[in-house]
Amino acid sequence: MIPDLPANIDELKGFLARDEAEALYQYALESSARGPVLEIGSYCGKSTIYLGLACRQHNSTVFALDHHRGSEEHQQGEYFHDPELYDTGEGQVDTFKEFRRNIASAGLNDTVVPVVASSAAAARHWQTPLAMVFIDGGHSLEAALSDYRCWTAHLQRGGILAIHDLFEDAHEGGQAPFAIYRMAKASGLFADIGRVNTLGFLRRL
């Protein structure tokens, strides 16, 4: 049972299964006792709420990193495009308004710090050690590699690396997250500590 979980959590826009969300919460609860959590790819804040509720237990912080213009698959004409998140005035996807509304509704404005930027731009001068990094950003190989290379260096020893949307079979989903998951396991820097559905967890050695 997760304390203060919003009653409408399953109605929020997002792609996180309930078993994945609960595992994410448990690892964030463990990790946030030692430092802040970074989420890459917040979308409308569904996963951010689970992370935020865990971090609030230890008066910690979630840095929620997203440019809020949607990944490749969210653009017009693509499979996961949502017309409700498209700003016709700007001619772009804009998920930030929905994100802010959901975080405020969950009472997490003092726990979640939005970072509205590309992953590479945010990482350029980053100095804060992280207790957990959750990679759920763009699913192109270029985007996934950038997220992995930019942020794993900031993960504390003993910290958790979580990677979402792991599919061995290309017919089931994109292969970029699985590629960086294999890269992490082969690096000698991480121990594989298990998977829940399509969400993999590793611990920094």
Give the active site residue among 68, 139, 154, 171. 139
Q: What is the CA radius of gyration of the chain?
A: 16
Give all strands (DSSP E) within the chain, no chain letters: 37-40, 62-65, 86-87, 92-93, 112-115, 130-135, 155-163, 190-196, 199-204
Q: Are 102 and 68 in contact (CB under 8 A)?
A: no
Domains within the chain, CATH numbers bracketed = 9-116+126-200 (3.40.50.150)
- Model pTM? 0.94
Interatomic CA distance for residues 27 and 25, integer angstroms? 6
List pLDDT tens digits, range 104-137.
Answer: 999 999 999 999 999 999 999 999 999 999 999 9
List pLDDT tens digits, range 167-183.
Answer: 988 777 779 999 999 99
List pLDDT tens digits, range 33-76.
Answer: 999 999 999 999 999 999 999 999 999 999 999 988 877 666 66
Mean of pLDDT over the chain = 92
To the query of whether residue 125 is one of the catalytic residues in this protein, the response is no
